[in-house]
């Protein structure tokens, strides 16, 4: 059994609250920030304990920007502080007549998009190529403007909606001719690309398509219903993963080390891997699968290890004909395992050569007889190992 307490760190007064359980997780639904507070950022700190009082650890969110209300100014790329770029993580919610009790979040459950009053989902918002063929959705970089074709991809499940055209909403009208950059907390609507006024809409807890009504006197507007008007806000997610199933844990698991990048140097018999990230310490070792690597601690942001020989992963490595991909993890000296999304791949490079004969160099007018017994054949195949690293 777990117990959790939360509180903002830094400029705000500590506000501790027992987290309420939602489905299989826990959710903190309220955070108060004083109107007199001038600072623009804060972070949440979560302390977890077992029911017997033993501390699990302290976990920090990323910096959270305080946005009291949506900007009423026309957005410009000269000030991108509140703009949303392609590839950003966002959340969408619908609030009926500004009543917080009626708030519904766009979410995914069982592979289906739903409108949930209990939990929100993070979506990656991508700019899509407007001129792509059907079934192909190449993505683009840049800041997202109204009128752009976008893709919403759930970060947790990978489920995506069809290509959508994002529209600005003004007094429940979708504005068809606005192309300014999107801003945090703006109201917007999502028109299905290629449709005649069909919009993403919620109905109770279902997500449906809604047919907007054209305005006869204003061709640049379409009338929406309440369920088709969404508020967009940027989000950040932080995941901490650890396993204590084989460990005897006395100390807190935090701070949890995070791997951000790998850099490979050398090759052949001596290949070194620099592991870059945060919250490293001298009690951590790099493991390639179930093989411990010789590890040297440099700084809280850098570890260096010797890449284990491929023979450590099987006796038949000499006949290797396919790549071997090994997961990377960090293990503390008390057995606590910190997994990562990074892998290391051993790739065989084979050069098949015919059994050529090596002949001595002869001058043009030489009458020297060749001694056939001294000819040496080359090996029929040469095997070397190429290394690569990646994150999925």
pTM of the shown model: 0.67
Longest CA pairwise span in the chain (Å): 104
At residue 302 the predicted structure's pLDDT band, cuts being 50, 70 and 90, is very high
Listed by start position, the domains of the chain span 2-65, 88-234, 258-351+383-391
Q: Which residues of 310-340 are buried (b: 16+ CB within 10 A; e: fewer)?
A: beebeeebeebeeebebebbbbbeeebbbeb
Q: How far apart are CA 318 and CA 384, in angstroms?
A: 10
Q: DSSP assignment, residue 310?
A: G
Instruction: Write the CB contacts of 371 (distance below 8 Å, at least 6 apart in sequence).
Output: none
The hierarchical CATH code for the domain 88-234 is 2.80.10.50
The token duo for 109 is 């459950």
Rounded (10°) CA dihedral 260, 263, 264, 265: -150
**Percent residues over pLDDT 70 in the chain:** 71
CATH topology of domain 258-351+383-391: Immunoglobulin-like (2.60.40)
The contacts of residue 367 (CB under 8 Å, 6+ apart) are none
- On the question of a common fold for 88-234 and 258-351+383-391, the answer reads no
Asked if 37 and 87 touch (Cβ cutoff 8 Å), the reply is no
Mean pLDDT (the chain, rounded): 79
For 63, the token pair is 């910096």
Rounded average pLDDT over 378-389: 46
* SS3 label, residue 287: strand
**Assigned superfamily of 2-65:** LAG1, DNA binding domain (2.60.40.1450)
Would the pLDDT of 390 be above 80?
A: no
**Cα–Cα distance, 370 to 392 (Å, whole number):** 59
């Amino acid at each position: 059994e777990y117990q959790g307490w939360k509180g903002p760190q830094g400029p705000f007064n500590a506000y501790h609250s027992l987290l309420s359980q939602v489905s299989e997780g826990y959710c903190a639904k309220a955070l108060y920030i004083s109107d007199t507070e001038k600072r623009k950022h804060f972070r949440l700190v979560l302390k977890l304990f077992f029911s017997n009082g033993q501390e699990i650890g302290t976990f920090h969110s990323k910096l959270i920007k305080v946005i009291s209300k949506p900007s009423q100014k026309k957005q410009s790329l000269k000030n991108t502080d509140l703009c949303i770029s392609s590839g950003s993580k966002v959340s969408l919610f619908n609030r009926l007549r500004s009543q917080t009790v009626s708030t519904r979040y766009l979410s995914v459950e069982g592979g289906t998009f739903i409108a949930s009053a209990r939990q929100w989902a993070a979506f990656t918002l991508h700019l899509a190529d407007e001129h792509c063929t059907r079934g192909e959705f190449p993505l683009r970089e840049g800041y997202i403007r109204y009128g752009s074709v976008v893709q919403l991809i759930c970060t947790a499940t990978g489920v995506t909606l069809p290509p959508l055209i994002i529209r600005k909403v003004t007094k429940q009208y979708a504005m068809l001719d606005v192309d300014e950059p999107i801003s945090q907390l703006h109201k917007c609507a999502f028109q299905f690309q290629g449709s005649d006024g069909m919009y993403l809409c919620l109905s109770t807890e279902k997500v449906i398509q809604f047919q907007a009504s054209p305005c006869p006197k204003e061709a640049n507007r379409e009338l929406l219903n309440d369920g088709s008007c969404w508020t967009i806000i940027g989000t950040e997610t932080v995941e901490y993963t650890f396993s204590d199933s084989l460990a005897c844990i006395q100390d807190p698991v935090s701070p949890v080390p995070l791997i951000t990048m790998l850099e490979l140097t050398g090759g052949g018999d001596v290949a070194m891997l620099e592991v870059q990230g945060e919250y490293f310490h001298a009690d951590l070792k790099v493991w390639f699968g179930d093989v411990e690597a010789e590890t040297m601690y440099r700084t809280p942001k850098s570890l260096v290890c010797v890449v284990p020989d491929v023979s450590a992963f099987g006796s038949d490595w000499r006949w290797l004909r396919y790549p071997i991909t090994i997961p990377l993890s960090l293990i503390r000296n008390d057995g606590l395992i910190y997994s990562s999304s990074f892998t290391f791949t051993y790739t065989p490079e084979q050069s098949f050569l015919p059994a050529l004969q090596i002949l001595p160099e002869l001058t043009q007018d030489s009458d020297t007889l060749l001694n056939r017994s001294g000819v040496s054949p080359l090996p029929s195949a040469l095997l070397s190992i190429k290394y690569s690293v990646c994150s999925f």
